[in-house]
Structure 1
Amino acid sequence: MESWLVIFCICLALGSIIGFMAGLLGIGGGLIAVPALLYFLPNVGVPFEHLPHVAIATSLAAIILTSLSSALAHNKRGNIPWGLFKPMLPGFVVGAICSGFVSKLIDASNLQQAFAFFVVLMALQMAFPIKPSANESMPKAAFLFIAAAVIALIAGLMGIGGGVLLVPFLTWCGLQMRNAVGFAAATGLLIALFGSIGYSLAGWNLTALPQGTFGFIYVPALVGIVITSMLTAPLGAKAATKWPTALLKKIFAGFLAIVGLKLMLT
């Protein structure tokens, strides 16, 4: 069997897990997808010096459709404060597009270490959530622009939608949680879209990448993840109403911590 077809089938299974866990625990798929892709992508000829870049770019591209469905659902419920887009949208676009080019400047081992450290931090946040106290007034437009650019840049470098960073920031700005989550869902789509464009352009002329790549994005893995994650996310959301999600989050946080530490030592 062709190696790309093997990866495609593996990513079908991976996508089903990502979708279900995203619906169940409200986590970004990148925290699952990137470590798995780091393990499997060498089998299709992705060289080590580009391995983290391809894994992160592919994860980011997979977020586009999942973020779209989430954003539409929040918009239907009136949870998205559209007025915030005026000061923050330019920052999201700039930070997301730059992420692909910035990642290209970072050595593969350093990028993997940075992702591993980020995973451990997210595990700690999931197990022991920090709830910042709300600010009395919304920051000025210039501050919101800079914050959006930084959040989008970090999200793009880590292959995530940015909700884990944006929601605490917006609640600190005084936004209600439902509006913060709704806005993060909508902007996660933009970060993933423009971040994917940045990664595609940054890896466009590289000859060392295998067939099936679109810039840094490995298409067979992307398609496999998207197909099943879109199907299983509603199942996870349904299970969240019946399962003990608080306990499951702590268990999953422990798993993430182990994965992050293992990546650090690799």
Structure 2
Amino acid sequence: MEDYYVLILALAATGALAGLIAGLFGIGGGIVMVPAMYYVFGALGYEGDRVMHVAVGTSLAVIIATSLRSVSAHAKKGAVDFDVLKQWVPFIVIGTLIGTVVADYIPSRGLTGLFGGMALLLSLQFFFGRPSWTLAEEMPGGLPRILLGNTIGVLSALMGIGGGVMGVTLMTLCGKTIHRAVATAAGFGVAIGIPGALGFIVNGWGSNEVPFSLGYVNMPGFALLAGSAFFVAPLGAKLAHSLPEKNLKRFFAIGLAIVGVMLVREAILGA
């Protein structure tokens, strides 16, 4: 019973941190929630071959709540590009569903290593990326849109993230302002979270890696993380306007790189 209290406190703290990060940098918080849950579950003795899957699946469920709140707030300010959402969401959903199936065939160590490697790449984006960088004047269409949409969905499902970082990067490179990109990427999060969470529930049905889970989605974790993030995210958004964003992003990039190295090392050494 004492372990459950520790789990509750640890998950609530993780949700608060994820909400703070989401508010500060305009991302869904999955990049924080997944490694935090993975280490919390491990510290409490849950070390099965699908623990990383539970962390990823639970994160996707939380992203539904946080992204819905975010996109609703942005929509009231007229910042969401609904044309982009209509054109990209179907391919992102398809990619997400593919990702949930693929994830079930990847062992926990493989998923851990993938997350760590992508975290290292994303840390480079946070450290070196600039909103002023552009490659095109508008979002791609045709086959590039299908492939990029599928890729965002697959990688987001495998990592348990909302697609905010990848979506914002893509849109700013294609001529969207940073505010427009952040607002619209929140819609990507909804398109990823719903099919992603359902896919992890279905594909993980019968698994009992962590108590009180539906498939690979831990229900107490979902409630605690979503609740904490919901209330703390506005604080992060407020701090974003009063703290030096450049330095904050660099500190976050360094922390993300450290987590990435730790996860890659654990995946390789199996420790």
Structure-1-length-normalised TM-score:
0.92
Aligned equivalents of 1:139, 1:16: Cα separation in 2: 36
Is the deviation greater in 125-134 or in 61-70? 125-134
Is the deviation greater in 157-166 or in 238-247? 238-247
The structure 1 segments of at least 4 consecutive aligned residues displaced by more than 6 Å after TM superposition are none
Tell me the equivalent position of 2:140: 139
Is the deviation greater in 163-172 or in 70-79? 163-172
Tell me the equivalent position of 1:259: 259
RMSD, aligned α-carbons: 1.8
Which amino acid is the alignment partner of residue 187 of structure 1? Answer: F
| Equivalence map 1:19-30=2 (5 Å) | 19-30=19-30
* Secondary structure of 1:48's aligned partner: coil
Which amino acid is the alignment partner of residue 249 of structure 2? Answer: K
Deviations 1:49-91 (A, max 9, x none): 1011111111111111111111011111111221223332211
Is residue 173 from structure 1 mapped to residue 174 from structure 2 by the alignment? yes
Report if the CA contact (8 A) 1:18-1:229 is conserved: yes
Is the deviation greater in 3-12 or in 211-220? 3-12
Is residue 158 from structure 1 mapped to residue 151 from structure 2 by the alignment? no
Q: CA deviation at 1:137?
A: 4.7
Is residue 245 from structure 1 mapped to residue 245 from structure 2 by the alignment? yes
Which amino acid is the alignment partner of residue 106 of structure 2? Answer: I
Q: CA deviation at 1:146?
A: 2.5
* Secondary structure of 1:211's aligned partner: coil
Report if the CA contact (8 A) 1:8-1:223 is conserved: no
Deviations 1:70-118 (A, max 9, x none): 1011111111221223332211111112222110111211110110111
| Cα 1:171/1:244, change in 2 over 3 Å | closer
| Cα 1:176/1:244, change in 2 over 3 Å | closer
Tell me the equivalent position of 2:124: 124
Aligned identity (percent) is: 35
Q: CA deviation at 1:246?
A: 1.5
* Secondary structure of 1:49's aligned partner: coil
Aligned equivalents of 2:119, 2:8: Cα separation in 1: 25
Aligned equivalents of 2:106, 2:173: Cα separation in 1: 31
Is residue 15 from structure 1 mapped to residue 23 from structure 2 by the alignment? no
Report if the CA contact (8 A) 1:7-1:220 is conserved: no
Tell me the equivalent position of 2:85: 85
| Equivalence map 1:209-220=2 (5 Å) | 209-220=209-220
Equivalenced residues, count: 265
Aligned equivalents of 2:151, 2:46: Cα separation in 1: 29
Deviations 1:184-212 (A, max 9, x none): 11121121111111111110133x43431
Report if the CA contact (8 A) 1:113-1:264 is conserved: yes
Report if the CA contact (8 A) 2:54-2:209 is conserved: no
